[in-house]
């Protein structure tokens, strides 16, 4: 198993930030992973699709690119199907596989960049659906003990854009596979966001999961930049959750603020709306800035440094706090 030295990571992060790592290896099986870890004494970073990371400096250690592949059916009946998927599979490719075979549950998560292995870490979500609702277990490789472990859904401690792999157990494991339970009879989710309007535009009255997926892809393609054309990591900030009292205080001066009631009585606000109200939408500074169509997305127009984009996010956080007394949290991992 070859470990490469002094490798550029520009093509391994969707921001397209020009940084390098001292050592780099790609692994596709437990034997490869064990071999690389046995040789390595450096700082370690497991990298999936590189779609949720901002490099602000060169990495002084070993980057392992997770290429565990494979899609296998574990069990099925008339209602459900249990599918085990390698962590290195491209997330959107897996979504398309499921749609092709009429397996329902993740069609609203179409066109989200990244790998399958990253989806439980972030508990990815979009248009009223979160991946935690279809994950049954996550298989990992312990980077210290060199043994495999399996986390049940509850053990993953899923939260909004978070999990145990992003909090107390961060950096301890390499996710090798994720098992999903999907439905053969779809429950269509169209109430969130612009899906219903898009389906109307498409002249579809009784949508299938294929229709929902196409609608989501149409919306995302219009609103979000393609990382292959403009460097970005998708949504840079989480949507904040605030108390009802705080929401009512904001409504006094901003009656049109989008707000969504949560089961516990709190309210989720649209971070993009908050950022736009502070005047950041479409702002450009040399080679970086805020996307012109979606304020949640910070972009590298070419040649930007990660530190520039990080500093921009700091200014946005400060601006939103000064205006709304809300401190935005970054969704993107900063290195």
Q: Which two tokens stand for residue 329?
A: 């949290």
The average pLDDT across 298-326 equals 96
Q: Is 168 exposed, middle or buried (0-12, 13-18, 19+ CB in 10 A)?
A: exposed
Q: Would the pLDDT of 138 be above 80?
A: yes
pLDDT attached to residue 188: 87
The average pLDDT across 45-52 equals 90
pLDDT band at 78 (very low <50, low <70, confident <90, very high): very high
Beta-sheet pairing, 59-66 with 43-47: parallel
What class is the 4-66 domain? alpha beta
Q: Would the pLDDT of 41 be above 80?
A: no
pLDDT attached to residue 322: 96
Q: Which residues are catalytic?
A: 161, 235, 331
pLDDT attached to residue 17: 95
Give 182's strand partners.
81
Q: Using an 8 Å Cβ cutoff, are 105 and 182 in contact?
A: yes
Give 183's strand partners.
80, 104
How far is it, in rounded angstroms, from Cα 71 to Cα 177?
9
How far is it, in rounded angstroms, from Cα 212 to Cα 98?
13
Q: Using an 8 Å Cβ cutoff, are 216 and 128 in contact?
A: no
Is the dihedral angle over the CA atoms 189, 192, 197, 201 positive or is it negative?
A: negative
How far is it, in rounded angstroms, from Cα 44 to Cα 60?
9
pLDDT attached to residue 260: 86
Q: Which two tokens stand for residue 252?
A: 């006094």
pLDDT attached to residue 223: 85
CB within 8 A of 164, min separation 6: which ones? 151, 155, 156, 157
Least confident of 3-7, 65-69, 187-191, 263-267: 187-191
Q: Would the pLDDT of 1 be above 80?
A: no
CB within 8 A of 226, min separation 6: which ones? none
Q: Would the pLDDT of 163 be above 70?
A: yes
Angle in degrees, 0-180, between the axes of helices 91-100 and 209-223, rounded to the nearest 10 = 150
Q: Which two tokens stand for residue 121?
A: 């870490």
The CATH number of domain 71-183, selected from 3.40.1390.10, 3.30.465.10, 3.40.50.300, 1.10.760.10 = 3.30.465.10
| Per-domain boundaries in the chain | 4-66, 71-183, 231-334
Q: Would the pLDDT of 254 be above 80?
A: yes
| Helix (H) or strand (E) run with residue 221 in it | helix 209-223
pLDDT band at 224 (very low <50, low <70, confident <90, very high): confident
Give tens-digit pLDDT for 192-221.
768 989 999 999 889 999 999 999 999 998
| Buried b or exposed e, range 154-165, using 16+ CB within 10 angstroms | eebbbebbbbbb
pLDDT attached to residue 178: 98
What does pTM read for this prediction? 0.87
How is 122-184 classified by DSSP, letter by letter? Answer: HT-EETTEEGGGTEEEEEEEETTT--EEEEETGGGT-BTTB-TTTTTTTTSEEEEEEEEEEES
Q: What is the mean pLDDT of the chain?
A: 93
pLDDT attached to residue 198: 92
Share above pLDDT 90 across residues of the chain, in percent, rounded to a whole number:
77
Question: What would be the CATH architecture of the domain defined by 231-334?
Answer: Alpha-Beta Complex (3.90)
The average pLDDT across 140-159 equals 95
Identify the DSSP state of 81: E
How is 234-286 classified by DSSP, letter by letter? Answer: S--BPPPEE-HHHHHHHHTT-TT--EEE-TTS-EEE-HHHHHHHTT-TT-EET
pLDDT band at 187 (very low <50, low <70, confident <90, very high): confident
């Amino acid at each position: 198993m070859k470990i490469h030295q002094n490798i550029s990571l520009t093509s391994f992060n969707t921001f397209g930030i020009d940084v390098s790592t001292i050592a780099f290896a790609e692994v596709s099986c437990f034997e490869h992973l064990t071999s690389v870890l046995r040789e390595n004494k450096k700082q370690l970073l497991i990298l999936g699709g590189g779609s949720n990371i901002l490099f602000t400096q060169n990495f002084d250690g070993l980057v392992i690119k997770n290429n565990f592949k494979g899609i296998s059916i574990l069990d099925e009946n008339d209602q459900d199907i249990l599918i085990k998927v390698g962590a290195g599979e491209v997330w959107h490719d897996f979504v398309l596989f499921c749609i092709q075979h009429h397996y329902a549950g993740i069609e609203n998560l179409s066109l989200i960049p990244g790998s399958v292995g990253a989806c439980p870490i972030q508990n990815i979500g979009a248009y009223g659906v979160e991946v935690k609702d279809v994950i049954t277990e996550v298989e990992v490789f312990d980077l210290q003990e060199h043994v495999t472990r399996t986390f049940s859904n509850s053990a993953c401690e899923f939260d909004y854009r978070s999990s145990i792999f992003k909090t107390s157990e961060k950096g301890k494991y390499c996710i090798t596979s994720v098992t999903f339970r999907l439905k053969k009879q779809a429950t269509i989710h169209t109430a969130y966001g612009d899906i219903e309007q898009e389906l109307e535009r498409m002249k579809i009255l009784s949508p299938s999961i294929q229709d929902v997926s196409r609608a989501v892809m149409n919306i995302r393609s219009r609103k979000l930049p393609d990382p292959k054309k403009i460097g970005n990591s998708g949504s840079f900030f989480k949507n904040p959750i605030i108390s009802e009292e705080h929401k009512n205080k904001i409504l006094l001066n901003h009656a049109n603020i989008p707000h969504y009631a949560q089961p516990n009585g709190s309210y989720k606000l649209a971070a993009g709306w908050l950022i736009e109200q502070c005047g950041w939408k479409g702002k450009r500074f040399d080679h970086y800035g805020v996307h012109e169509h979606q304020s949640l997305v910070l972009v590298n127009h070419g040649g930007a440094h990660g530190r520039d984009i990080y500093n921009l996010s700091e200014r946005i956080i400060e601006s939103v706090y000064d205006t709304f007394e809300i401190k935005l949290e970054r969704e993107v991992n900063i290195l």
